[in-house]
Amino acid sequence: MERDVLISGPGSQVGDEVHSAVSWAAILAGAAATVALSFVLLALAAGLGFTLASPWPGAKPSLSTFTPLLGAGMVAVQVLSCALGGYLAGRLRTKWLNVHSHEVFFRDTAHGLLVWAVSTLLGVVLSMVALAAPVEQAVLVAATARDANIAAQFSFFLAFGLLLSAFVASVAGALGGLRRDEMHAKYRAVQSV
């Protein structure tokens, strides 16, 4: 059952500024869902043959197998995962009372953006841990012009996906908050009858 947070009641001297507008529980739940869905979608993509790794056992990931189709798949994974996480953060946050609807909309949008930020940091940490294996001497060979071009394409798709997923997570947080408020209004209407 939903619980309302009364930030300041009539005649109260306590203002909104003494309470944090950030619901870290909702943000962390959204970030956990984002990271989990990312791994599921990446596993599905790898099962379909989209991978940076060689099919040979023991081979290390290589950018030489990167294609624009793989880049588009990376962007899709980022966007879908962040959309789910942002929406969850917007829906799970406790409803504020006595806060203007524009402020509520901004806060829900900020929660979606914070889901993106936390899940991106978690993804970076997990990637660093996964790639912490010793690097072989053959990997340290000087890059050719083709390798530099592929690295630039990979970087472009990664940055584009991160920017787009930040926007989508923010919008999804706002939509989740709007849906939460609609459900709250319906529940209150039924309770008052």
Which of these ranges, 29-43, 71-85, 127-141, 155-169, has the smallest mean pLDDT? 127-141
The torsion angle over the Cα atoms of residues 71, 76, 82 and 84, rounded to 10 degrees, is: -160
SS3 of residue 61 by DSSP? strand
pTM for the model stands at 0.75
Lowest mean pLDDT among 30-39, 64-73, 89-98: 64-73
HSE, CB side, 13 Å, CA atoms: give it for residue 144.
Answer: 4
Alpha-carbon distance of 118 to 92, in angstroms, equals 16
> Taking 60 as the threshold, does the pLDDT of residue 93 lie above it?
yes
Contact between 180 and 91 under an 8 Å Cβ cutoff? The reply is: yes
Q: How many Cα atoms sit within 13 Å of 1 on the Cβ side?
A: 4
Q: Are 115 and 89 in contact (CB under 8 A)?
A: yes
Rounded CA separation 135/103 (Å): 50
Rounded distance between C-alpha atoms, residue 85 and residue 36, angstroms: 10
Q: Which residue has the higher pLDDT, 148 or 74?
A: 74
Domain borders along the chain are: 4-10+17-59+67-192
What's at 122, amino acid-wise? L
